[in-house]
């Protein structure tokens, strides 16, 4: 296709693929559908069947599980929402090398194994006719590259790990993993934008390890000393030149940039006189010969201290800053082999699924597109720098990879759903970072099943989308913030993750936010009157406080009449 906007924006084509990729749109049709020839059979019943799309006989042109054939038009739908997989090749490596060495076998939490266990569970449901497809809602990988100096195009990155586990490829067959037998629909999370690994010791508890045990694993195992030094120097020089990767609206930015930017001046003005004067004064007491050598000794000491200090600064930079470097180029393998879209929508019967990317972390300032000014709705230091649940960049309209802006795109999709007029429709919006979240679950009064989150008393912006959340919520309610006359379709469920816990909210008129338990059986009788519901699903892979035994997933069942029977 010479005109690529139908599939991918020109900016994405150039920025991620370097401008030399060719884009094809493939239309498939079956001249004769013979279920007995193309569908698998389970207990004398036909089941949906996945096929690879082979454009020619080269493996590089094969798209794994790209086509799904089904025995009949869908009547109702059963799907699973799974989020925060955090896959990485090193998860298996830690288990095989470090967990054995420190005696943590059985306690170590391998994120990859969590997904393998889910695949087995989901396949059993599919064979019983209880599952049509799975939505994977972001943080599919923990980071992309195996080493801090790897490039986006280097082979063996974690997008390959994702593909192998989901399709049963690579060495997965030896583990007994045959791959997921139903389709998956994916969207991306903040970790999917990250290039580099982080230190396991920074999140030891999520792996089921103590800090001391996690310290046995070198997160830079994939890098040579030379490549590490080159990467540290590159990042250090960029920070000195461009400033800290903290938002430029944050007061910490000025302090960080000043400290790093003037470190060389400080070394020259303070360190040199100190290390020169002390040995010089001491040596002068031993006569002229010693005095003549004092500058040489002082210079040697200064050189050694300066090198040690510079190395220490670069080490801190690589451990603190490099792991949160992010950019769309990290998604090269994702767009090439898994999903070519940031934002897209699909229908299944009268059910609509709107999939939206929520972008990288807010505090990766070098990727804030406008220099760090004008677009931050808010930036919480405890959330983004200390709390471990950073805000995301969505729905920032100036991101050149979203065409048009995401809020405009969502409005158009909802208008298209209404114009199709399929009778009673159900709309599910799926995104990684939630539009509403709290840091701690509020207490629900006795005899009640929900509590109003009062403005000013509790923040609903802990680790959420950071831009235009109000416009998003209004559209989900069938409203438009700037146009009281607007009337659109109402979203039923907004499915998200990111915070690694199960939580459920609803948005009432006047943008009042309630927290409660809405998915229990039977589902709330006033569901249609009270929607939209905003639900989060706990992590598939990492361990989280209060959630000791993942993988968690959310099952949604809509019957033939369009009634939502469960979303627990």
- Report pLDDT digits (tens) over 143-189: 999 888 776 667 789 999 999 999 999 899 999 999 999 999 999 99
For 201-245, give the secondary structure using H, E and C. Answer: HHHHHHHCCCHHHHCCCCCCCCCCHHHHHHHHHHHHHHHHHHCCC
Mean pLDDT of the region 43-58: 87
Per-residue pLDDT band at 1 (split at 50, 70, 90):
low
Q: What is the pLDDT of residue 152?
A: 61
Among 140, 188, 119, 112, which residue's Cα sits nearest to residue 342? 188
E-strand ranges in 20-174 read: 40-42, 45-47, 49-54, 62-69, 77-82, 133-137
Would strands 62-69 and 49-54 be described as parallel, antiparallel, or unpaired?
A: antiparallel
Check whether 278 has a pLDDT greater than 60.
Answer: no
Q: What is the pLDDT of residue 454?
A: 84
Among 187, 134, 189, 124, which residue's Cα sits nearest to residue 554? 134
Mean pLDDT of the region 307-318: 68
Among 467, 334, 464, 339, which residue's Cα sits nearest to residue 398? 467
From CA 120, how far away is CA 135, in angstroms rounded? 16
Mean pLDDT of the region 445-452: 89
**What separation in angstroms does the CA of 181 have from each of 55, 68, 286, 289, 554?**
22, 10, 83, 83, 18
Per-residue pLDDT band at 310 (split at 50, 70, 90):
low
Upper half-sphere CA count for residue 422 (Cβ side, 13 Å): 16
Per-residue pLDDT band at 295 (split at 50, 70, 90):
low
Check whether 269 has a pLDDT greater than 70.
Answer: no
Q: Find the helix or strand (DSSP H, E) in which 354 lies.
A: strand 351-356
Mean pLDDT of the region 373-384: 54
Least confident of 96-110, 286-300, 480-494: 286-300
Q: What is the pLDDT of residue 567?
A: 93
Q: What is the pLDDT of residue 502?
A: 94
From CA 317, how far away is CA 307, in angstroms rounded? 15
**What separation in angstroms does the CA of 220 have from each of 33, 181, 243, 414, 484?**
52, 35, 25, 46, 55
Least confident of 96-105, 285-294, 500-509: 285-294
Mean pLDDT of the region 453-462: 84
Taking residue 243's Cβ as centre, other Cβ atoms within 10 Å add up to 20
User: For residue 186, what are the β-bridge partners?
Assistant: 136
How would you class 497 by CB atoms within 10 Å of its CB: exposed for 0-12, middle for 13-18, buried for 19 or more?
Answer: buried
User: For residue 356, what are the β-bridge partners?
Assistant: 431
* Average model confidence (pLDDT) across the chain: 81
**What separation in angstroms does the CA of 566 have from each of 5, 286, 518, 554?**
37, 88, 10, 9
**What separation in angstroms does the CA of 63 have from each of 52, 91, 128, 318, 323?**
6, 26, 27, 36, 30
Least confident of 168-172, 237-241, 256-260, 461-465: 256-260
Check whether 284 has a pLDDT greater than 50.
Answer: no
Least confident of 287-291, 301-305, 401-405: 287-291
The winner for highest mean pLDDT among 221-230, 291-300, 504-513 is 504-513
Q: Are 551 and 134 in contact (CB under 8 A)?
A: no
From CA 499, how far away is CA 518, in angstroms rounded? 19
Helices assigned H by DSSP within 63-192:
89-93, 100-101, 111-127, 158-167
Q: What is the pLDDT of residue 184?
A: 96
- pLDDT by residue (tens digit) across 81-100? 999 999 999 999 998 887 77
Axis-axis angle for helices 158-167, 111-127 (nearest 10): 30
Check whether 236 has a pLDDT greater than 90.
Answer: no
Sequence-ordered list of residues with C-beta below 8 angstroms from that of 256, at least 6 positions apart, any chain: 243, 244, 246
Buried b (16+ CB within 10 A) or exposed e, 180-192: bbbbbbbbbbbbb
**What separation in angstroms does the CA of 226 have from each of 65, 123, 306, 307?**
40, 46, 19, 16
Q: Are 502 and 552 in contact (CB under 8 A)?
A: yes
Number of residues assigned to the chain: 568
Mean pLDDT of the region 448-473: 88
Among 144, 166, 207, 564, which residue's Cα sits nearest to residue 351? 564
Least confident of 63-77, 276-290, 554-568: 276-290
E-strand ranges in 364-497 read: 426-431, 450-452, 493-496
DSSP letter assigned to residue 268: I
From CA 230, how far away is CA 30, in angstroms rounded? 54
Helix (H, G, I), strand (E, B) or coil at 25: coil
Give this prediction's pTM: 0.86
Q: What is the pLDDT of residue 268?
A: 41
Q: What is the pLDDT of residue 14?
A: 82
Helix (H, G, I), strand (E, B) or coil at 346: strand
Among 193, 87, 91, 196, which residue's Cα sits nearest to residue 149? 196
Helix (H, G, I), strand (E, B) or coil at 325: coil
Check whether 3 has a pLDDT greater than 70.
Answer: no
Q: What is the pLDDT of residue 15?
A: 81
User: For residue 137, what are the β-bridge partners?
Assistant: 187
Q: Identify which has the larger pLDDT, 40 or 396.
A: 40
Q: What proportion of the chain, given as a percentage, has pLDDT over 70?
A: 78
From CA 304, how far away is CA 310, in angstroms rounded? 10
Check whether 133 has a pLDDT greater than 80.
Answer: yes
Q: Are 254 and 262 in contact (CB under 8 A)?
A: no
Q: What is the pLDDT of residue 533?
A: 97
From CA 139, how far away is CA 143, in angstroms rounded? 8
Per-residue pLDDT band at 266 (split at 50, 70, 90):
very low
Sequence-ordered list of residues with C-beta below 8 angstroms from that of 522, at least 6 positions apart, any chain: 565
> Does the bond joining 395 to the residue before it have cis omega, within 30 degrees of 0?
yes
From CA 105, how far away is CA 346, in angstroms rounded? 42
Q: Identify which has the larger pLDDT, 119 or 291.
A: 119
Q: Identify which has the larger pLDDT, 359 or 375.
A: 359
Check whether 10 has a pLDDT greater than 60.
Answer: yes
Q: What is the pLDDT of residue 307?
A: 65
For the chain, state the CA radius of gyration. 27
Taking residue 176's Cβ as centre, other Cβ atoms within 10 Å add up to 9
């Amino acid at each position: 296709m010479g005109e690529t906007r139908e599939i991918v924006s020109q900016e994405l084509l150039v920025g991620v693929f370097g401008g030399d990729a060719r884009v094809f749109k493939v239309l498939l049709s079956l001249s004769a559908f013979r279920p007995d020839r193309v569908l698998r059979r389970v207990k004398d019943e036909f089941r949906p069947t996945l096929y690879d799309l082979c454009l020619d006989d080269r493996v590089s042109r094969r798209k794994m599980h790209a086509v799904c054939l089904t025995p009949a038009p869908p009547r109702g739908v059963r799907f699973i929402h799974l989020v925060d997989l955090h896959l990485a090749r090193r998860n298996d490596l830690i288990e095989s090398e470090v967990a054995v060495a420190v005696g943590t076998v059985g306690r170590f939490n391998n994120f990859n194994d969590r997904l393998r266990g889910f695949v087995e569970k989901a396949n059993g449901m599919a064979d019983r006719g209880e599952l049509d497809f799975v939505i994977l809602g972001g943080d599919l990988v923990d980071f992309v590259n195996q080493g801090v100096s790897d490039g986006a195009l280097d082979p063996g990155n974690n997008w390959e790990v994702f593909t192998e586990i989901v399709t049963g490829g690579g060495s997965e067959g030896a583990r007994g993993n045959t791959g997921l037998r139903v389709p998956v629909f994916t969207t991306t999370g903040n970790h999917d934008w990250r290039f580099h690994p982080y230190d396991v010791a920074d999140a030891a508890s999520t792996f089921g390890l103590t800090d001391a045990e996690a310290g046995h694993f070198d997160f830079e195992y994939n890098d040579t000393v030379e490549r590490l030094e080159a990467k540290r120097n590159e990042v250090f020089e960029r920070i000195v030149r461009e400033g800290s990767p903290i938002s430029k609206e944050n007061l910490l930015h000025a302090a960080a940039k000043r400290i790093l930017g003037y470190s060389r001046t400080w070394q020259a003005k303070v360190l040199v006189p100190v290390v020169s004067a002390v040995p010089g004064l001491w040596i002068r007491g031993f006569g002229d010969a010693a005095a003549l050598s004092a500058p040489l000794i002082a210079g040697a000491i200064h050189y050694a201290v300066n090198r040690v200090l510079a190395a220490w600064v670069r080490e801190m930079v690589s451990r603190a800053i490099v792991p949160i470097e992010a950019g769309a180029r990290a998604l090269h393998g994702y767009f090439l082999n898994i999903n070519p879209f940031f934002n897209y929508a699909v229908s299944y019967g009268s059910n609509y699924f709107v999939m939206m990317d929520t972008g990288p972390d807010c505090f990766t300032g070098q990727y804030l597109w406008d220099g760090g000014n004008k677009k931050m709705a808010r930036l919480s230091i405890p959330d983004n720098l200390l709390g471990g649940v950073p805000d995301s960049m969505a729905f920032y309209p100036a991101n050149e990879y979203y065409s048009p802006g995401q809020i405009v795109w969502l409005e158009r999709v909802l208008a298209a759903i209404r114009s199709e007029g399929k009778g009673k429709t159900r709309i599910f919006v799926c995104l990684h970072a939630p539009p509403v979240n709290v840091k701690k679950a509020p207490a629900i009064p006795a005899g009640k099943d929900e509590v109003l989150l009062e403005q000013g008393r509790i923040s609903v912006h802990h680790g959420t989308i950071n831009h235009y959340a109000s416009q998003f919520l209004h559209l989900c309610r069938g409203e438009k913030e700037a146009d009281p006359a607007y009337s659109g379709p109402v979203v039923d469920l907004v499915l998200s993750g990111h915070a690694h816990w199960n939580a459920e909210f609803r948005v009432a008129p006047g943008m009042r936010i309630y927290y409660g338990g809405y998915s229990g059986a039977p589902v709330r009788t006033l569901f249609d009157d009270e929607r939209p519901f905003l639900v989060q699903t706990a992590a598939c892979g990492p361990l989280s406080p209060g959630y000791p035994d993942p993988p968690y997933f959310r099952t949604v069942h809509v019957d033939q009449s369009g009634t939502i029977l469960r979303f627990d």
